[in-house]
C-alpha cells in the first residue's frame, strides 16, 4: 500500500499542538502519528500531506521545505464554522528516484480520491502536479487543470520534466486525459511568445495578473470548472512571502491569493489542491497556512447546483447574436452564472462534461451587446 510510505508527523509538531486551545485547528485535525498510525479515513473531507521531493526543481533548492513549521502555523489558526473532517496524514519523503516519488504520490492521491477525500498537497516543486494528474486516470475520463502561476511552465520540448516544464509532460503523456488547462495570474515578461501562441492554438485559457488583480472574482468561474488546482507560490509578491531570491516584486497580494483559494474551495468540482514552490521563512509558512485555511473555509460553503430551465432556482436567458443564440442560466441561490456550449455534450466522444460552462454576469452583458465571450468561443472550438 502506498499509504505505508507516509512518514508520521514530527514529535515537535505534535507537542506544539498539545498546547493549543480547543478551538485551534491543531486540536481538531486527525493526525498520522508514530504511536497511533494513520487516522481513520471514513467520512473525512480533506487530507493534508507533504511531498518532500525537489530534485526536479528548475532553480535548485538550497534546503528542504520545512513542512513541520508550516503545520505549526496552520495548527495555531482557529477553526471556522465548518463541518469538514480534516486529516493530516504526514509526508512523502524522496524515493530512490524521482519516478519512485511520483508513483507513491499518484497512488496516495488515487486512494484518497476513491474515498471522496480532497487531497491538499504541500510540495517542494510544482512538477508534483504531474503525478497528481495521472492519479485521476481511473477516476475521471477528462480533467480540467487550473494553474495559479506567473508562468505557463511548458519549457522546451527536449527538456526532461522539471518544475518549469511539467505542463509539456502533461500535454504529451499518454493517455491524454487533459480536457482543458487554464492559467490564472501569468506575467507576460516571464513567458515566451511561443508559449502564449501555444495556449491560443490549444484553446487554453490564460488570465493576466493585472486583470485578476483588478477584479479577483474573474477567477471564480475558471475555478468552478477545475478538477485540479495547482498553485505556484512564486505567483505571490516576494514582499508578501518574505522571500526574494526566486520570487518577483510583482504578483498576487496575500488577500488576493486567499480569495482565489476560497473560490477553489467553494467549487464543488475541485478534487485536489496543490501548493508548491515554497521556501523557508516564517512569513511564507504563515501565508501557506492561511491559504490552506481559506481553501477549507471555501469547502464548507460548497453548494451542489446544476442549472435547469425546469428548476425554480434558476432563470434562463436566451441571447440572440449575429452568429449564435446563447443560453445563459443564473442561480437565485448563489447568483452564479452558466452558459450552454453546444459541442460540449455528455455523448460527445471526447468528454463526459456537461454542456454548461461557468461564466460571469459580465459575459451575459457582453453577449447582450453582441460580444461573444472568449471562454465560450474557446470551449466551442475545442469541442468540434
Output the tens digit of pLDDT for each of the chain's 384 residues: 789 999 999 999 999 999 999 999 999 999 999 999 999 999 999 999 999 988 877 666 678 899 999 999 999 999 999 999 999 999 999 889 989 999 999 999 999 999 999 999 999 999 999 999 999 998 988 899 999 999 998 876 545 555 567 888 898 889 999 999 999 999 999 998 888 888 998 889 999 999 999 999 999 999 999 999 999 999 999 999 998 888 999 999 999 999 999 999 999 999 999 999 999 999 999 999 999 999 999 999 999 988 887 888 999 999 998 888 899 999 999 999 999 988 654 443 344 444 789 999 999 999 999 999 888 888 888 764
Is residue 212 located within the same domain as residue 351?
Answer: no
Do 339 and 225 fall within a single domain? no
Between helix 67-75 and helix 11-18 the angle, nearest 10°, is 10
Same domain, 295 and 323: no
Could you tell me if 376 and 240 lie in one domain? no
Number of structural domains (the chain) is 2
Could you give the 3-state DSSP secondary structure of residue 251? Answer: coil
Asked, for residue 225, whether it belongs to a domain, the answer is yes
Residue 353 lies in a domain: yes
Whether residue 192 sits in one domain with residue 150? yes
Question: Helix or strand or coil: residue 195?
Answer: helix
In a domain, 191, yes or no: yes
Q: Report the CATH number at residue 213.
A: 3.40.800.10
Q: Specify whether 92 is located in the same domain as 46.
A: yes
Question: Last residue of a domain, which of 299, 331, 355?
Answer: 299
Q: Is residue 179 a part of any domain in this protein?
A: yes
Give the residue numbers spanning the domain of 322: 314-383
Q: How many CB atoms lie within 10 A of CB 256?
A: 20
Question: How many beta carbons lie within 10 A of that of residue 213, not counting itself?
Answer: 15
Does 189 lie in the same domain as 147? yes
- pTM reported for the whole predicted model: 0.92
d(CA 56, CA 44): 32
Residue 304 lies inside a defined structural domain of this protein: no
Residues 178 and 216 in one domain: yes
Judge if 330 and 364 occupy the same domain.
Answer: yes
The DSSP call for residue 8 is: P
Amino acid at each position: 500500500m502506498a499509504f505505508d510510505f507516509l512518514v508520521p508527523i514530527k514529535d515537535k509538531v505534535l507537542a506544539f499542538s498539545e498546547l493549543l486551545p480547543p478551538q485551534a485547528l491543531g486540536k481538531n485535525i486527525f493526525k498520522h502519528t508514530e504511536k497511533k498510525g494513520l487516522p481513520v479515513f471514513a467520512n473525512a473531507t480533506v487530507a493534508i500531506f507533504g511531498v518532500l521531493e525537489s530534485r526536479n526543481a528548475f532553480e535548485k533548492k538550497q534546503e528542504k521545505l520545512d513542512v513541520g513549521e508550516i503545520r505549526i502555523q496552520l495548527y495555531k489558526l482557529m477553526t471556522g464554522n465548518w463541518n469538514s473532517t480534516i486529516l493530516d496524514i504526514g509526508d512523502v519523503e524522496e524515493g530512490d528516484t524521482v519516478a519512485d516519488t511520483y508513483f507513491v504520490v499518484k497512488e496516495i492521491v488515487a486512494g484518497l480520491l476513491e474515498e471522496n477525500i480532497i487531497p491538499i498537497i504541500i510540495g517542494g516543486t510544482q512538477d508534483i502536479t504531474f503525478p497528481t494528474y495521472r492519479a485521476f486516470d481511473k477516476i475521471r475520463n477528462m480533467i480540467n487543470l487550473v494553474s495559479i502561476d506567473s508562468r505557463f511552465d511548458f519549457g522546451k520540448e527536449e527538456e526532461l520534466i522539471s518544475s518549469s516544464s511539467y505542463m509539456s509532460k502533461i500535454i504529451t503523456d499518454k493517455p491524454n486525459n487533459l480536457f482543458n488547462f487554464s492559467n490564472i495570474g501569468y506575467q507576460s515578461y516571464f513567458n515566451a511568445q511561443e508559449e502564449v501562441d501555444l495556449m491560443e492554438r490549444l484553446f487554453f485559457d490564460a488570465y493576466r495578473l493585472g486583470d485578476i488583480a483588478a477584479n479577483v472574482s474573474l477567477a471564480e468561474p475558471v475555478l468552478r470548472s477545475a478538477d485540479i488546482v495547482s498553485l505556484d507560490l512564486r505567483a505571490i509578491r516576494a514582499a508578501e512571502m518574505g522571500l526574494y531570491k526566486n520570487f518577483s516584486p510583482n504578483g498576487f497580494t496575500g488577500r488576493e491569493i486567499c480569495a482565489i483559494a476560497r473560490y477553489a474551495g467553494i467549487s464543488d468540482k475541485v478534487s485536489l489542491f496543490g501548493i508548491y514552490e515554497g521556501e523557508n521563512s516564517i512569513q511564507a509558512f504563515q501565508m501557506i497556512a492561511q491559504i490552506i485555511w481559506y481553501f477549507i473555509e471555501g469547502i464548507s460553503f460548497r453548494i451542489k447546483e446544476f442549472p435547469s430551465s425546469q428548476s425554480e432556482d434558476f432563470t434562463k436567458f436566451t441571447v440572440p447574436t449575429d452568429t449564435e443564440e446563447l443560453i445563459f442560466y443564473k442561480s437565485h441561490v448563489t447568483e452564479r452564472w452558466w452558459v450552454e456550449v453546444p459541442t460540449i455534450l455528455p455523448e460527445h466522444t471526447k468528454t463526459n462534461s456537461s454542456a454548461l460552462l461557468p461564466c460571469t454576469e459580465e459575459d451575459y452583458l457582453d453577449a447582450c451587446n453582441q460580444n461573444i465571450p472568449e471562454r465560450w468561443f474557446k470551449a466551442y472550438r475545442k469541442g468540434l
